[in-house]
Structure 1
Amino acid sequence: MTIHLKTPAGRENHDSAEAAYRGLSASGGGPSYLAIPGGKIADVRAELDALAAQLAENVAATRERRPIEAVAPAGGAGDLVRRIGLAMQLEYVGRREGAAAPAFYTGFTTDKAMEVPARDALDIRVMLTRNQLSSLAEALRPIVEEGEAPRADSDPLAFFRRIQELSARANNDMRQIGETTELGSLLGEYLEDLPYRSEILNLTQADWARFNRARQRDLIYQLKSKLALYRDIHATPEKWIKLDPRAVDGEDVTTIPLYRLP
């Protein structure tokens, strides 16, 4: 979705910019493009308020398993968000029922600037709820504690086994002890579908045993620093957004840079 502020200062490239933005925001249902003539702050604020209200309705409707209703004026940013939400619902229902739903929001990009490959072109972030971040922190905590324990030096294979046991007890599922092969499988299902696999997520018992102690400590230090970050985010109210005023605090959301995940 693209919101184009057609300010007087940029009048010379309004047409070319609109063409580019329409192409950028194109999907199976057409371009998700909105122009705001003049780019006045009051107009922008009104559109963003409508967008936020409709986004909250989209989330509520999805949670309540009902069709999304229009809560914003037609033709504005809120209306675009409603159509996007309906398209996502259609795709989900089609996938669940095994139907061939149209392909929405399928594309590709590069995370590096093509003209300057050393420069990042995207700041990729993952949206998590407060409950999800708490679960992730709780999954990391025993790994860090076990990795820093004096006994971790004596038997690297036992370390991985203890992590499996702690996770199994926390989830009340002792089957995890025998089924877990990678450390990433202990850190929450919402990490499994991310478009990347870090060294830590792919770490197996054999990998851990093969590393020397310095390498093991380096990995534990990385996890410890990320755990501290998650705790800091969790304790900072201004880092959280309430998408639905009716939702409990655990459903507030924040965004975490991809490289800050395990």
Structure 2
Amino acid sequence: MRPRPVRDDFTVLLVADPPPQRPRPGGEGPAGRQEALVSLARAVFAEGGRIALPADAGVAVTMATVALEYEGPRIAERRTEAGQQHRVLVVETERPQRDARAFLAPFAARGVVEYLDPDGDPVLLGLGEPELFGEEGIRQPVTPELLRLVRPRAVVLISSSNRSFRDLAVLRDSGVPVVAFGTTAHDRGTAADLSAVDDPTRDRWASRWSSERESRTVPYAFLMQDLVARLTDRRGR
């Protein structure tokens, strides 16, 4: 099947923190968190949507890797062209994130990543030998400027930590729909902070798959497809 072309009217903003050193009791471990991230990317890309995220050197690489699956043949030999749409949009909201620039340069060269600096200007990422600065675990915050640049259809929170409290304050003022996957929250306090947010693992999984809920197997692929169907008004068609 030929991949759908990228749409400029369907962008999901992903806000995801690095995994905790020790998962909370009853919460997801690294494998479940990764499954949630990849399932979201595939559901969005299958509809021709884009994933946007504040700069980091970990989650953005995962999104870019999945995006390669939705490009045409011989992508490794094709460089980005002026004016083309990118499936992954990475935005610096504070200072330049040097590790993210280094890790994402190969993906930018293949046309799947667009990278913007804190002023919202495109950054031409070079393919030279990267000098790394130990920023892999740093995720830059959500800001009003980020939301203005991205214009997301919705914001999805995965692997949320206590840093998400600041992001939630910005998101509440924006009016953009927010969806959180509480099973991936780092601690009980963060999970409680997310209790007022739409949570498919609570509102849909709990009511439909009680037996699976008992076994702690979360059907992330289905939940992400259902989420995208709701966001694109495709549900029930």
Structure scoring higher RCO (CA < 8 A, sep ≥ 6) equals 2
TM-score relative to the length of structure 1: 0.22
TM-score relative to the length of structure 2: 0.24
- Answer with 1 or 2: which has the greater Rg: 1
